[in-house]
A and B are shown apart, each in its own frame.
Chain A
């Protein structure tokens, strides 16, 4: 199909729809005004201790959060988690810190680095960084830069290595950072992940591990 024709068909109804929208918006609708000063009302509980809140929400979201004091402790915890998993390829985001950590934790395991392509169907575990951690909802924020889109969803276990300084109090702060840092100028994807994959589609009974990871592990190292 020639390119020019395609561009035309793509927009055949565009102007018509926009015209209808604009005509509709000229109709005045009386809507009760939102009372002034209402915007000052506090919607969400303020968060005094982000770390405590994060741990608490992680537990509620059925994710594992391990606090570590330094790189060595992080590597040890990573080793422990990896040992508990079946043999098989691990997918790891290409990053100097993660390289060091993984070499210490699991020198023998087969590794697929993110520079070699997306995790395969048979990947047992993925290890990535995060853009931020969110205390309010016990979430990790990942972007395409954290090993790609599939890195946080394809394998049955996803391990995230993060630093305490990455913890932000709430969603508003996290989304504000994305806007400010123009994250989407560099990434076609970001996701706020709050727990392991789940479903309650059968009799509203919670089943952990639907199409995505059954386990989400956060290794949170203090310091910056």
Chain B
């Protein structure tokens, strides 16, 4: 029997949250992120004003999406670049694939791009016999492991140095003895440098598409994005239509806010702006420049009156980092391109509410995600709306509907509620006394399997309430 995405999520979540090595790696990673993020935010004088400004910029962009995309396209085409509009993943992959075949490309260097993950571009190219190198260190590591990125900003944060050293020994060079991060970086650098200088095509994503200047803005720290867009003779940008922003000056706020939310930096080391192919008289740069604008469900999200603002997302990863669910179940458990709160909101729109409605419940609705989001997306309310939409569109199971109907009946009748509480207290006390906590007989098994049972109260809340009132 094939598992549904929801069943797999529950199973993986249970395994991952009990995996102490994984938890320790994530805890350490998130601790250092938290410290850097707080320090970074303190450097900005009015963080709330910065968030409001970013929200305003993105709202302006999204509410005039057609106009700004056309403005961007016009500028790029005027400088000799190509702009391709892809309705879905297949169209986008086919375009890049055909371009690569037509121009005789054998090797591609890629800098990090979540949209290429979303459309599964690398497998599409590799099926044609084209070698694809991920060049961001984290992406390179997960590529060697045949894994999807664990996190949208730090793709390999689920691994420690020992695991990465072992991987490099297996896949790259059995002679690697050190597991020092600097030495491991040096190994990757040597390997990838060959690729940079032999590849015929560089593929990058975009953090922003600047409409008034016709510029693609790409932020990277390692410089791999720079090399991908400087050395190979062909440069292809693959990005979503929602990445457009109105003005070049908007970057003065967006860059610092993205860096602060992403890593705690004041600004990403290389904030690159590419305005088209190499112009006459220039020393280097790709002679062929293509921008692939991917829709793939985004225009449908634009038509959602409640959730349009989800398109504001700048993919900073802050909502993943703060999410208590992400911190326990980890990125891979979601089984989606975009994990964490933004992924749980977005995936049902991109891949269907039927299969992915369970992600709306992968949240305690604590609202931490909404409180950190630098473009002020009301993430947890959107999760709530997705729950409602799933219920209304009847993609829920009938057994689920029956259970909730019973639940409603019990909750709205004080006597039934009291009876239920009494029964549960008695039953659980007996069960625990028999040492059956956490077994299949235990209705609280989900909790008690990995934890000590919560002590049971001797009397109901209502009984205590009555007693305390009488005493005072």
Q: Give Cα A117 to B303, complex, Å.
A: 49
The interface residues of chain B lying within 8 Å CB-to-CB of A45 are: 43, 45
Known: A24-B299, A194-B268. A202 touches B275 (CB 8 A): no
A49 at the interface (CB under 8 A from B): no
Main secondary structure of the interface of A (DSSP, over half): loop
Which residues of B sit under 8 angstroms from A1, Cβ to Cβ?
102
> What's the Cα separation between A150 and B231 when bound, in Å?
7
B276 neighbours in A (Cβ, 8 Å): 188
Minimum CB–CB distance for B152 against chain A, Å = 13
Which chain A positions have C-beta within 8 A of B50? Answer: 43
Using an 8 Å CB-CB cutoff, how does the interface string of A188-201 with B read, 1 for contact, 0 for none? 11111111111111
Chain A residues in 8 Å Cβ range of B213: 178-179, 184
**Given the known A-B contacts A43-B44, A188-B275, A212-B270, are A203 and B49 also in contact in the complex, defined by CB atoms under 8 Å?**
no
Cross-chain contact B222 with A210 (CB below 8 angstroms): yes
Q: B147 at the A/B interface (Cβ < 8 Å)?
A: no
Q: Which residues from B are CB-within-8-Å of A38?
A: 49, 52
| B136, B226, B303: the one within 8 Å of A23 (CB) | B303
Please, which residue of chain B has its CB at the minimum distance from the CB of A196?
B269
Q: Give which listed residue, B87, B247, B263, B278, contacts A200 with CB less than 8 A.
A: B263
Chain B residues whose C-beta falls within 8 Å of the C-beta of A14 in the assembled complex: 85
Pairs across A and B, CB under 8 Å, 27 listed? A12-B91, A13-B85, A23-B303, A42-B45, A44-B44, A121-B193, A121-B197, A144-B282, A148-B282, A149-B229, A149-B285, A153-B230, A171-B252, A184-B215, A189-B282, A191-B270, A197-B270, A201-B137, A202-B137, A202-B156, A202-B161, A203-B28, A204-B28, A204-B154, A210-B222, A211-B222, A213-B223
Q: A residues touching B (Cβ–Cβ < 8 Å)? A: 1, 9-14, 16-18, 20-25, 27-31, 34, 38-39, 41-45, 57, 60-61, 114, 117-118, 121, 137-139, 144, 147-154, 170-172, 174-176, 178-179, 184, 186-205, 207, 209-213
Q: Quick one: closest A residue to B250, CB to CB?
A: A175
B267 contacts A137, C-beta separation under 8 Å = yes
In the bound complex, residues from chain A placing their C-beta under 8 Å from that of B20 are: none
Contact A43 B49 (CB under 8 A): yes
Instruction: State A210–B253 Cα separation when bound (angstroms).
Output: 26
Per-residue CB contact flags for chain B residues 273-295 toward chain A (1 = under 8 Å, else 0) read: 11111110011110001000101
CB of B87 within 8 A of CB of A16, answer yes
Chain B residues, CB < 8 A from A153:
223, 226-227, 230, 270
User: A21 to B86, Cβ gap below 8 A?
Assistant: no
Q: Is the CB of A207 within 8 A of B303?
A: no
Q: Does B214 sit within 8 A of A, measured CB to CB?
A: yes
Partner of B221, one of A21, A144, A184, A210: A210
Which of chain A's residues has its CB closest to B159's CB? A202
| Contact B231–A207 (Cβ < 8 Å) | no
The B205-251 residues at the A interface (CB cut-off 8 A) are 212-215, 221-224, 226-227, 229-231, 241, 247-249, 251
Closest chain B residue, CB of each to CB of A134: B267
Interface residues of B in 66-86 (CB under 8 A from A): 66, 69-70, 79, 82-86
Contacts of B309 in A (CB 8 A): 31
**Complex Cα gap A175–B248 (Å):** 7
Chain A residue contacts of B251, Cβ below 8 A:
171, 175
Of B6-14, B53-61, B367-375, B391-399, the stretch lying at the interface with chain A is: B53-61
**Which listed residue, A138, A175, A198, touches B252 by the CB 8 Å rule?**
A175
Most chain B C-beta atoms within 10 Å of own C-beta, residue among A20, A57, A114, A210: A210
Q: Which residues of chain B have C-beta atoms less than 8 A from A198's C-beta?
A: 221-222, 269
Chain B nearest CB, measured from A136 CB (Å) = 8
Closest 5 CB pairs of A and B: A212-B223, A148-B283, A210-B222, A24-B303, A149-B230
CA distance A144 to B222 in the complex (A): 20
**Structural contact, A197 and B285, CB atoms closer than 8 A:** no
